[in-house]
Amino acid sequence: MAVVIASVAAAAALACTPHPGLGTVVFTEGATEHVVDLATCRETTRPAPRPRPVTTPGLRVTAERHGKSGSQSIVLDGRVVLTVRESYATVPAGAPGPIVLFGVSPDRKWVLYAIDPQGSSSLAADGLTISAVSSGGGKPRTVEFGLLDDRYRAWCSGRLVATAGGDRITTHDKQLIVAGPPAWQATPLVRAPGRSWGSLTCAPGGRAVVVQSQAASDGAHWALWHVGLDGSQQRLTSPPAGSADDSPAFAGGALYFVRSHAGAGSLYALRDGKLLGPLVSLGPDLGSFGNDDWPYRVRP
């Protein structure tokens, strides 16, 4: 298996500790992609591929415009599932605004989307209202209001678990909610006033998520929690003072995450209840709005 990390900032000199059985980590430093075997810490490099937007096959938005009016349509597998009328009389991007796609349900029976009000990136940074529409068409259902990052949503056993709440500061009072078809009525998965929830991933088996959480504040002090779809909770990590654990992902029976301090992050893992790491240094990343940007994907 391999864990693929895309670091948005230049990494420091490679620091790695061998851990047999944990596969290969790949991260980007400028125009170079580093490939590190975590069993031996042997490193190879190659030109970094160009970033590609994450898309859902068969899902797209089409647009038509005639003077100061027009429309946008969500198309799934060649079929129009929703059309939104737009006015360009006073707003160049259109009103109500461009459609933003968030993918489809695992069974492809529902499309998640939002309207970006007037195409304002500033308004969108504070969150958008995500809705669901049936792939067969019909009335859209409101799901939740939340941040745009895909790491704040995960499908588990046919249900959507998400971090909800406005305000671009990720550490400010975000709730952990669960919703699903056909009603899409969002309910709190955990009732914990004074806490904020962040990036999450579905645990193997689909009956729980691993999610970063902390007391609501202006600073990032994330720890990782295991939260069942029944609302049960178990804290998994306790980072040292001044550090944060975030960006969880599963691969090959291990839970990977990034532990950061003063903007520098290192990859860690939990396997069979044991903390492994630091595995490899990922270098600095200043992040923004309480969220260090450690995007990564895991492939077996």
Kindly give the confidence (pLDDT) of every residue in the chain, 300 residues in length, as a single tens digit, with 9 standing for 90 and above. 455 444 333 333 468 889 998 878 887 777 878 788 888 999 888 898 887 777 899 999 999 999 999 999 999 999 999 999 999 999 898 999 999 999 999 999 999 999 998 787 777 778 899 999 999 999 999 999 988 888 899 999 999 999 998 878 888 889 999 999 999 999 999 988 899 999 999 999 999 999 999 998 888 899 999 999 999 999 999 999 999 999 999 988 899 999 998 888 889 999 999 999 999 887 776 555 555 567 665 443
In-domain check, residue 183: no
Total domains present in the chain: 1
In-domain check, residue 118: yes
pLDDT at 293: 62
pLDDT at 257: 94
- What are the DSSP calls for 219-265, one per residue? S---EEEEEETTS-EEE---PPTTEEEEEEEEETTEEEEEEEETTEE
* Backbone angle region of 30, left / alpha / beta, with phi > 0 → left and psi within -120 to 50 → alpha: left
In-domain check, residue 72: yes
pTM above 0.95, yes or no: no
Q: Is the dihedral of CA 134, 135, 137, 142 positive or negative?
A: positive
pLDDT at 286: 53
In-domain check, residue 268: no
Nearest to 16 by CA among 6, 31, 30, 26: 26
In-domain check, residue 132: yes
pLDDT at 7: 39
In-domain check, residue 213: no
In-domain check, residue 294: no
In-domain check, residue 64: yes
Range of the domain at 90: 53-139
pLDDT at 56: 94
